[in-house]
Chains A and B, each alone.
Chain A
């Protein structure tokens, strides 16, 4: 328990210290030291606990020692709960105040609804339910999936914080004359890490909701960090969409309290009931399904799934480390974390069975397809990355929606690979942007000549996103297998067509990076050392994870699935045969060996490019008509006519909204019908 709580408290303390630190020279060692400490702690935690057992960390009734004093967990938990309620209320007030300042009525209304609902429920029912429940209660827990998330947060997250040191120095230099608000920035970053660890270890959903709200608030403040009108607008869009999810979360909590068969707020309890219902093969309790549906809905908003994708696109206005953090290790990963956790309650029983699983699969699949289509017409590197994140999260969500063990295996694998690779790519783009003054892919023309090391890192990142034998593709492959096995053909078609498009937009970027353009001189020397070190480290991670993933699978994911899907035979946990995985591993090694052995050893005669005999000899200009020198410019295809971004987004939003509306109106109908049935005297059966 100690390390887990330390992982929440340490970033919190560091955040508060950083808030007070004004000077660079003091901030740097603190951030680097804290980052390394957090990473080390999470690794220690993982090494000590990866057996596949669920550890109840904070169980009551029970006691723990704090400074030599025995404290009953019961009292402590009640104290923490009250503190959370108070801090939660303060956070809501903060949003409301900012909403008033910037005249954002929707944000105010949503914040009021959410806070009023949760306050009302807590004070009138919630505490009473907690107190009345004398059975063993688990507030915090730790299982292998939490561990994986902690590793991602602890290593990738703190790596990004260290990277931010150098980046924000440049950022401040670019924004010369403005007030240095870096203490605030780093405060928010570390607060974010603390809240994320909180989310992944909370078993009590009210606690999880508290951390959930912190991430919403942090992302809101980070997106609006620059305080330009655009940033303010986008930050409010983010907070509004996330508050909608927050309201759904609150509704789920309230319904859990009201539901006679649940009557507490424990995630583990919820999952047990869901597993039982599934095992019994019953049609499902519409109220229970609604709870799962609402939680999944909250996850969908946080994971920026369509129709809520716009906030993540808007989040690009923030400094790049924020984007990296939001996209890879925090925020959106909190959304998919919750949905993957719910996976045992998801899944579909028939092709058209309307349930939470159906909703999640369709939303995820449609998001994957249409976000990939939208990415096709983008030349802004950060937008491509954002769409790719949305798409990949869609795939993860769809996998979780399928709800079988092998699909969840893919989802978790995708989470790992995506976190590592996407953080690498964001950091690369951030560094490139500061050096070449543009985040447009077309301006990365021949980056290999200008910033060889950075280009190499970026090439590894881009390849890692879509190319065999790297991780993302292996997970995608497994996902296809899982979709076929469970007969979700629509999702399969979405993945297949989406993947084809993915191939196109990554490769054209890769092509720009690898192009060897004449007369490029290196401008890499001025890059901050911490930036380069972290980017290099993440590159190494990308390769290492691609090589060692069978061990992750065997050592961490399969034991987790063994506990979560205890009724399923162990040999179907992994969609891929282990021989295939070993072969893929060998291919990664082969690629690395080929590059090391053969790349760049040229003993051939070099001749100019063929330009119909009119090359001026420098490969950069040709003799045009009237003997004029015409520079050669090469641009990629963007298919604005076939895959217009706006239209693709609109179709995606319409499809997903329709599904959400359909599913929830079905629930409302079903729940109302059940309520009427109960009222009309059949109450005995309903109270099971």
Chain B
């Protein structure tokens, strides 16, 4: 079995959730559930992490942050969306500022249901994700280009800021910025 499945390090991001799921994620680290049994460490740092645990429906301000954190994780990597909100927006679905689910922003590999998701099911979700992780690792080893890297989510410093602004509804900000860039170019 690939080493990656024995040492899945996680980063946990709160995409504007009600904190219910977040508390359950952290509960997994406690002696009661003790995810370190599986070699899981909560790194808090995308550059060390293999699994992005993300809660909440992701609001407009979160979008660039979530993308950036996702981009900063080296492949192979998976995303586990935790709770109903992360799956499809949940009760916040129709809000004006809500993306409505993590998969509107970045690709998700495993959905963990529940409101709030129970620690057992979170652990179950992560363990399910390990299979995906192993597949991705194998694909990477066989020389395939990683879709997560070469695809649309690859970090693009130039257009990045603009995208963020537009999605924030800050079209003027984007305009200002592009004007500033033009001036700088001159």
Contact = CB atoms under 8 A, between A and B. Distances in A.
Nearest to A609: B72
A618 B157 contact: yes
A616 interface: yes
8 contacts: A605-B149, A607-B47, A608-B72, A610-B45, A610-B47, A615-B68, A617-B158, A627-B173
A607 B64 contact: no
B155 interface: yes
Given A613-B66, A627-B168, 19 more contacts: A605-B74, A607-B71, A607-B155, A608-B155, A610-B47, A610-B72, A613-B46, A613-B65, A614-B65, A616-B160, A616-B161, A617-B156, A617-B158, A617-B160, A623-B64, A623-B164, A627-B61, A627-B170, A627-B173
B27 interface: no
Contact of A608 (B66, B157, B168, B173): B157
B123 interface: no
Interface of B: 13, 45-47, 61, 64-66, 68-69, 71-72, 74, 149, 155-158, 160-161, 164, 168, 170, 173
Contacts of A610: 45-47, 72
B170 A608 contact: no
Contacts of A608: 68, 72, 155, 157
Contacts of B158: 617
Nearest to B164: A623
B107 to A, nearest CB: 17
Given A605-B149, A627-B173, A613 B68 contact: yes
Majority SS at the chain B contact face: helix
Contacts of B149: 605
Nearest to A613: B65
Nearest to B48: A610
A614 B63 CA distance: 11
A607 to B, nearest CB: 5
A618 B46 CA distance: 18
Nearest to B62: A613
Interface string A593-623: 0000000000001011010111111100001
B45 A617 contact: no
Interface string A330-351: 0000000000000000000000
Nearest to A616: B161
Contacts of B61: 627
Interface in A605-656: 605, 607-608, 610, 612-618, 623, 627
A627 B177 CA distance: 12
A619 to B, nearest CB: 9
A614 B62 CA distance: 10
A475 B1 CA distance: 53
Given A610-B45, A627-B173, A617 B72 contact: no
Contacts of A607: 47, 71-72, 155
Nearest to A605: B149
A627 B157 CA distance: 17
Contacts of A616: 160-161
Nearest to B161: A616
Q: What 5 A-B pairs are tightest by C-beta distance, nearest first?
A: A617-B157, A613-B65, A613-B68, A617-B160, A613-B69
Nearest to B72: A607
A607 B77 CA distance: 15
A615 B74 CA distance: 17
A608 B170 CA distance: 23
Nearest to A611: B68
A615 B64 CA distance: 10
A627 B172 CA distance: 12
A618 B149 CA distance: 19
A613 B64 contact: yes
Contacts of A615: 68
A623 B163 CA distance: 13
B137 to A, nearest CB: 17
Contacts of A618: 157
Contact of A617 (B47, B155, B170): B155
A623 B160 CA distance: 12
Contacts of A623: 64, 164
Nearest to A604: B74
Contacts of B155: 607-608, 617
B77 to A, nearest CB: 13
A325 to B, nearest CB: 44
Interface string A551-579: 00000000000000000000000000000
